[in-house]
Amino acid sequence: MAVLAGADFFTVEVLTWRGLVTYYVLFFLHLETRRVSLAGITRHPTEEWMAQMGRNAIDETSGSLRQQRYLLHDRDTKFCKEFRETLAAGGVKCLRLPARSPNLNAFAERWVRSIKEECLSKLILFGEGSLTRALTQFQEHYLFERNHQGKANMLLFTRTDELAEIPGPSIESREGVGGLLKYYYRRAA
């Protein structure tokens, strides 16, 4: 599991001046740690865009797949030949899953369900900026503030910043996405 990642797309309808627009969100999920990396948001996932997302993912300094050897993804045509070849050049082998088998990429599918149910279905998004803001705030909430049953009901990653420095009551609350996401924690003594 340490060298395995999953990838998938999901769509979000966003209100713009021209009406409803569908945005495609590409993400990578490291299966062992459940760390989610938002790769990109676009209205038209072309082959050139996918190749660039592949180059970004295998970048030696900041790529989300730089320590992975395998990438699970479905048979969506957006995972084009150029994307797979770009990843292969960086040492990441793409494993295309059989048709109609969402359980083989279950962690990625579950993350899509989480973000849609807990965040996106409760918002009316106006433009790409509000979509980006909601996605990044939920990603941070998911990684640092949300308990995960598959990981012994613990937080995935802990924060040590600013908890001990804030004076006041010992129970604190942090909000995200305009108060939609709430995280309660006990301040360190």
Q: What is the pLDDT of residues 33-43, one digit of tens each?
A: 889 999 999 99
* Residue 142 · residue 119 · CB < 8 Å: no
Q: Is 186 exposed, middle or buried (0-12, 13-18, 19+ CB in 10 A)?
A: exposed
127: left (phi over 0), alpha (psi -120 to 50) or beta: left
* Residue 181 · residue 137 · CB < 8 Å: yes
Residue 87, Cα to own-chain centre: how many angstroms?
A: 19
> For the chain, which residues make up each domain, given as ranges?
4-152
- In the chain, the largest separation of any two C-alpha atoms, in whole Å, equals 56
Residues 6+ apart with CB under 8 A from 124: 15
Residue with the bigger pLDDT between 164 and 44: it is 44
**Residue 170 to residue 167: CA distance in whole angstroms:** 9
Which helix (H) or strand (E) segment is 147 a member of?
A: strand 147-148
Residue 17 has pLDDT above 80, yes or no: yes
Domain 4-152: give its CATH code. Answer: 3.30.420.10
**Residue 164 to residue 34: CA distance in whole angstroms:** 27
Top-ranked range on mean pLDDT: pick from 137-151, 156-170, 175-189:
137-151
**Residue 109 to residue 8: CA distance in whole angstroms:** 8
**How sure is the predictor about 162, in pLDDT bands with cuts at 50, 70 and 90?**
very low
Residues 6+ apart with CB under 8 A from 112: 8, 10
* Residue 36 · residue 29 · CB < 8 Å: yes
pLDDT of amino acid 147: 73
12 strand-pairing partners: 23
What are the pLDDT digits (tens) for 87-135? 999 999 999 999 888 788 899 999 999 999 999 999 999 999 999 999 9
What are the pLDDT digits (tens) for 28-78? 999 988 899 999 999 999 999 999 999 999 998 888 898 899 999 999 999
Residue with the bigger pLDDT between 84 and 168: it is 84
CA angle 77, 40, 126 (to 5 degrees): 110
* Residue 132 · residue 30 · CB < 8 Å: no
Residue with the bigger pLDDT between 178 and 36: it is 36
